[in-house]
């Protein structure tokens, strides 16, 4: 009996055991490779992937024995795109009525179902990672969406999430309803230094990767030609938010549109400035010096301006001037769109790349803003944003040359996330 077992064990069990040990190997032939790091693309690259990671990137050569070969030799391969300002739980809010309706008429479970759909749209458009910057009244449902994606239950990008965001009481919708009604709010109302610290701890407890707060509101141009705004928090409160977040290892995103709001966010020590329409030369210089990221969200600005009227078109024009200056001054610009501020089904987030080129970046700078620079903002420089050995196998392919026509990035034909092919139309 013993002898019999000794004979069958190796043949029956060892192959199964070793098959479980050896990760799936894939070799991708890339006609052109833009790796997110080097200034120039390379021709005929061979990218070898094991499991969810890239193990080597070489010029030509033959695929390792036993590897599954994916032929992208007629395509341009790039790192998976990263959008660092999204709202998966929102479906567009050009008008405040559209916003209020979502919070009043849609349950959080229904909004979470739409969020899962939006995440799939984003991944199909080539976005393999996103920072979702608050749920707009859907409490902590972003954490659930992130978890479902991470567990492989639904397809979507890797996510970092900010949960509820913060303003002081009464400074964010829903507003203007009878005081007799108990209504949801688009953010968590937070007051006082102790309240700020407690809110940061609470959001972190329920899964916030980032803390987001609204530095300002009521944007208006004054005689000096500068876009001004009303600052929401006292300096003491804003500093308490940032200090507590940093103390427990979280970074802080500040929504700041007017110059006053941006200046207040910089005084508080925020890590990223969102929108930033009212940036002045002095504020840009300070951001460049301190390495604070600007996330311009041009797609939403240009999308909502016609419907909102008022100052919004003038603000969009101002961003165009700021953008060219910020590029020259070396401000770190990471790609963010504010998707959700526009309808996920109607606008492809990858339009943002084209706006950056229209406004003064080279195509390569624009690509980096939405790959390696965005990856750095997320603290994932060692994992995402470039195609290099050791990184996650997150990559996309387009048929044409995005360095000649940046709108090619709106026509992604191949998407791989963590070594798994999500979409392949390159046959």
Q: CA dist 240 to 247, 269, 300, Å?
A: 10, 10, 30
Beta-carbon count within 10 A of 195 CB: 18
Residue 297's φ and ψ, nearest 5 degrees, are: 50, 55
DSSP 140: T
Region binding Zn ion by CB under 5 A among candidate stretches 105-113, 165-173, 186-194, 338-346: 338-346
In angstroms, give the least distance from the CB of 133 to Zn ion: 5
In angstroms, give the least distance from the CB of 348 to Zn ion: 17
Residue pair 318/277 in contact (Cβ under 8 Å)? The answer is yes
Cα distance between residue 213 and residue 54, in whole Å: 36
Closest CB to Zn ion among residues 237, 338? 338
Closest CB to Zn ion among residues 84, 245? 84
In angstroms, give the least distance from the CB of 82 to Zn ion: 16
Size of the site for Zn ion (CB under 5 A): 1
Cα distance between residue 81 and residue 15, in whole Å: 38
Q: Which of 131, 50, 136 is closest to 89 using CA atoms? A: 136
In angstroms, give the least distance from the CB of 335 to Zn ion: 14
Region binding Zn ion by CB under 5 A among candidate stretches 106-114, 119-127, 231-239, 333-341: 333-341
Closest CB to Zn ion among residues 41, 92? 92
Region binding Zn ion by CB under 5 A among candidate stretches 17-25, 29-37, 334-342, 356-364: 334-342
H or E segment and range at residue 205 = helix 192-205
Closest CB to Zn ion among residues 165, 350? 165
Closest CB to Zn ion among residues 125, 275? 275
In angstroms, give the least distance from the CB of 353 to Zn ion: 18
Q: Chain centroid to CA 29: how far? A: 28
E strands in 207-271: 210-214, 216-221, 227-231, 251-256
Closest CB to Zn ion among residues 338, 408? 338
Q: 212-251 mask for Zn ion (x: CB under 5 A)?
A: ----------------------------------------
In the bound complex, which residue of the shown chain has the CB atom lying closest to Zn ion?
338
In angstroms, give the least distance from the CB of 350 to Zn ion: 18
Closest CB to Zn ion among residues 28, 257? 257
In angstroms, give the least distance from the CB of 420 to Zn ion: 29
Cα distance between residue 193 and residue 241, in whole Å: 8
In angstroms, give the least distance from the CB of 29 to Zn ion: 39
DSSP 95: S
Cα distance between residue 148 and residue 163, in whole Å: 15
Closest CB to Zn ion among residues 83, 338? 338
Cα distance between residue 51 and residue 5, in whole Å: 33
In angstroms, give the least distance from the CB of 329 to Zn ion: 24
**Angle between helix 281-290 and helix 259-268 axes, rounded to 10 deg:** 30
Cα dihedral 273/279/280/285 (nearest 10): 30
Enumerate residues 352-391 that contact Zn ion by CB under 5 A.
Answer: none
Closest CB to Zn ion among residues 144, 338? 338
Closest CB to Zn ion among residues 304, 398? 304
Report DSSP letters for 329-386, one per residue.
HT--B-----BTSS-TTT--TTHHHHHHHHTT--HHHHHHHTTHHHHHHTT-TTTSSS
Residue 304 token pair? 């909502």
Q: Is 338 in the site for Zn ion (CB under 5 A)?
A: yes
Give the total residue count for the chain.
427
In angstroms, give the least distance from the CB of 25 to Zn ion: 40
Region binding Zn ion by CB under 5 A among candidate stretches 11-19, 116-124, 310-318, 331-339: 331-339
Query: Which are the contacts of 24, defined by CB distance < 8 A and separation ≥ 6?
Result: 50, 51, 68, 419
Closest CB to Zn ion among residues 244, 338? 338
Region binding Zn ion by CB under 5 A among candidate stretches 61-69, 317-325, 336-344, 407-415: 336-344
In angstroms, give the least distance from the CB of 341 to Zn ion: 6
Q: 43-82 mask for Zn ion (x: CB under 5 A)?
A: ----------------------------------------
Region binding Zn ion by CB under 5 A among candidate stretches 259-267, 281-289, 337-345, 396-404: 337-345
| Residue ranges in contact with Zn ion by CB under 5 A | 338
């Amino acid at each position: 009996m013993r002898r019999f077992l000794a004979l069958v064990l190796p043949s029956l069990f060892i192959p199964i055991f070793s098959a479980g040990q050896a990760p799936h190997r894939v070799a991708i032939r890339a006609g052109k490779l833009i790796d997110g790091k080097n200034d120039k693309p390379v021709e005929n690259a061979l990218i070898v992937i094991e499991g969810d990671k890239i193990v080597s990137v070489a010029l030509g050569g033959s695929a390792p024995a036993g590897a599954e070969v994916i032929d992208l030799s007629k395509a341009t391969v790039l790192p998976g795109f990263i959008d660092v300002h999204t709202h998966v739980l929102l479906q567009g809010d050009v008008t405040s009525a559209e916003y209020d309706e979502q919070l009043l008429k849609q349950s959080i479970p229904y909004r979470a179902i739409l969020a899962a759909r939006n995440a799939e749209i984003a991944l199909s458009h080539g976005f393999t990672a996103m920072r979702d910057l608050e749920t707009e009244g859907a409490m902590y449902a972003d954490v659930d969406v992130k978890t479902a994606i991470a567990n492989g239950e639904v397809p979507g990008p890797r996510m970092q999430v900010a949960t509820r965001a913060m303003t002081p009481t009464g400074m964010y919708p829903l507003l203007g309803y009878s005081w007799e009604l108990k209504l949801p709010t688009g953010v968590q109302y937070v007051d006082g230094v102790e309240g700020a610290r407690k809110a940061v701890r609470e959001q972190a407890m329920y899964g916030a990767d980032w803390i987001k707060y609204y530095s300002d509101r009521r944007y208006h141009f004054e005689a000096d030609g500068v876009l001004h705004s009303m600052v929401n928090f006292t300096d003491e409160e804003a500093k308490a938010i940032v200090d507590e977040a940093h103390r427990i290892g979280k970074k802080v995103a500040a929504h700041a549109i007017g110059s006053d709001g941006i200046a207040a966010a910089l005084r508080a020590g925020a890590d990223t400035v969102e929108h930033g329409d009212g940036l002045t030369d002095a504020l840009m210089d300070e951001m460049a010096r301190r390495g604070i990221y600007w996330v311009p969200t041009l797609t939403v600005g240009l999308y909502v301006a016609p419907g909102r009227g008022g100052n919004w078109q003038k603000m969009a024009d101002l961003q165009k001037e700021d953008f060219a200056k910020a590029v020259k001054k070396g401000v770190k610009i990471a790609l963010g769109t504010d998707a959700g501020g526009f309808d996920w089904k109607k606008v492809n987030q990858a339009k943002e790349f084209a706006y950056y080129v229209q406004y003064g970046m080279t195509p390569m700078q624009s690509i980096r803003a939405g790959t390696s620079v965005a990856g750095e903002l997320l603290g994932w420089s060692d994992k995402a944003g470039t195609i290099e050995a050791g990184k996650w196998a997150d990559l996309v392919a387009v048929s044409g040359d995005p360095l000649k026509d940046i709108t090619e990035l709106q026509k992604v034909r191949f998407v791989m996330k963590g070594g798994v092919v999500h979409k392949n139309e390159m046959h």
